[in-house]
Amino acid sequence: MNTRKIIALTIVAAGSTVASLPAAADAEHRAKALEIIKRDFQPRGQAGVDRLAEDGLQAICNRTGNNPPEYIAKRMEADQLATVKLPADGKLLGDWKEGEKIAQSGRGFTWTDNPGLPVGGNCYNCHQISPKELSFGTIGPSLFQYGKLRGNTPDIQKYTYSKIWNAKGFNLCSEMPRFGHVGALSEQQVGHLVALLLDPASPVNK
The string of DSSP codes covering 47-65 is B-GGGG---HHHHHHHHTT
Domains and CATH numbers, the chain: 3-77 (no CATH), 96-205 (1.10.760.10)
Indicate the pLDDT class of residue 13, thresholds 50, 70 and 90: very low
Cα dist. 27→5, 76, 144 in Å?
Answer: 21, 23, 40
- The conformation of residue 118, written as its DSSP 8-state character, comes to P
Handedness of CA 38, 44, 50, 54 (dihedral sign): negative
Distance CA 121, CA 134 (A): 17
What pLDDT, on the 0 to 100 scale, is given for residue 18?
A: 39
pLDDT (mean) for 103-113: 91
Distances (CA, A) of 205 to 2, 40, 166, 200: 42, 45, 24, 6
Identify the H or E element spanning 36: helix 27-40
CA angle 58, 185, 4 (to 5 degrees): 25
State how far the Cα of 87 lies from the Cα of 112, in Å rounded to an integer. Answer: 31
Most confident of 6-15, 111-120, 191-200: 191-200
Side chain identity, residue 49:
V
Q: Across the strands, what pairs with 44? A: 47
Q: Report the alpha-carbon distance of residue 66 to residue 64 in Å, rounded.
A: 5
High-pLDDT (> 70) share of the chain, %: 87
Q: How far apart are CA 194 and CA 72, in angstroms?
A: 29
Q: What is the pTM of this model?
A: 0.83
Query: Do 53 and 4 contact (CB within 8 A), yes or no?
Result: no
pLDDT grade, residue 2 (50/70/90)?
low
Q: What's the chain's average pLDDT?
A: 88
- Residue pLDDT, tens place only, 60-87: 998 898 999 999 999 999 999 999 999 9
> 77 with 168: CB under 8 angstroms?
yes
The lowest-confidence range among 14-23, 27-36, 148-157 is: 14-23
What pLDDT does 169 receive?
Answer: 98
- Condensed to tens digits (0 to 9), the pLDDT of residues 140-158 reads 999 999 999 999 999 999 9
